[in-house]
A = this chain, B = another copy of it.
Amino acid sequence: MTEDHWTPPAVMLAVDLVILTLREWRLHVLLIERGIEPYQGAWALPGGFLQHAEEDLTAAAHRELAEEASLHAETLHLEHLGVYGAPGRDPRGRVVSIAYLAIAPGLPEPIAGTDAAGARWHRVDRVLSGDLRLAFDHRRIVEDGVERARTKLEHSALATAFCGPTFTIADLQRVYEAVWGIPLDPRNFYRKVQKTKGFIVPAGPERKVTAGRPARLFRAGPRKVLYPPMVRPVDPADAKESEE
C-alpha cells in the first residue's frame, strides 16, 4: 500500500441493489423512479451513497431498501454482484458503486420513499428490451444480475428462495422456466430434482390441489450447492464451432 502521510483522494461510494422476484411466474426487478436530477424521471436501481464512513456495505444496502421502497427485508440475503466504477458514469463526480443481488419470493408492493417519485416491480424482459429509460449504467447492472441468477439456479438451491415455504415440483419448475426463459419437460424435471440429494425434502402428507391430481408438497432441503447440478439446456449455437 502507500505512505501513511499521504491522503488518498475521496471517492463517493454507493451501493446498488438488484432485487429479483417472481410475480405471476415472470421475473421482475425492483426499480425506483428518480425524483431528482440527474436522470430525474428515469428508473433506477434502489441504492445510494454510504451514509457514514463506518457503515457496513450490506447495512447500507438494507437501509436504502427501507428508505426508498419501504421494504424492510432484513433477512434478505444479499450477494455481491460486481463493481461499477467507470469514471464518468455519474455526472456528479467519481462514484464507485458496489452492486448486490438479492432474490426473494413474492415481496410486497413497494412504497416510494424520499427522493423517489415511484417504486415498482418491472418485468425483466421489458427492462432489458430497452422500453424503459434507465438511469446511469443500471441496465447493464440488471443484465449482469439476471445472468448471475440464471447461473446460480444451476449450481445452487436458489430456486427454492423464489418459492414460499412449501411448494410443489411444478412450482419449482415454473421458477426455472421463468428465470431461464425456456420451457422444460415436467417429467424429466421431476426426476432430476429428486435425484439431486438434499435439494428438496417432502413437507409432510399435505397436497396442493389444482385442476388435476393434487401434487406433493416439498420444502427446501439442507443442500445449498447442488450436486449434480441442474443444467440449462444447451443453446444449439454453442454446440457448433462458433467464435468467442
Contact = CB atoms under 8 A, between A and B. Distances in A.
A3 B98 contact: no
A54 B11 CA distance: 9
Nearest to A88: B54
Contact of A9 (B4, B48, B50, B57): B50
A234 interface: yes
| A: interface residue count bin | 35 or more
Nearest to A6: B49
A13 B3 contact: no
A115 B1 contact: yes
Contact of A244 (B3, B54, B222): B222
B2 A115 contact: yes
Interface stretch (A20-28, A79-87, A120-128, A183-191): A79-87
Contact of A49 (B1, B36, B52, B234): B1
Interface string A184-227: 00000000000001100000000000000000000000111101
A224 B244 contact: yes
A93 interface: yes
A61 to B, nearest CB: 12
A125 to B, nearest CB: 23
Interface of A: 1-4, 8-14, 34, 36-37, 44, 47-57, 80, 82-83, 85-87, 92-94, 96, 98, 115, 197-198, 222-225, 227, 234, 238-244
Given A8-B13, A57-B83, A225-B238, 15 more contacts: A4-B37, A4-B92, A8-B14, A8-B49, A9-B51, A11-B11, A13-B96, A55-B87, A57-B85, A83-B83, A197-B240, A223-B241, A223-B242, A225-B244, A227-B234
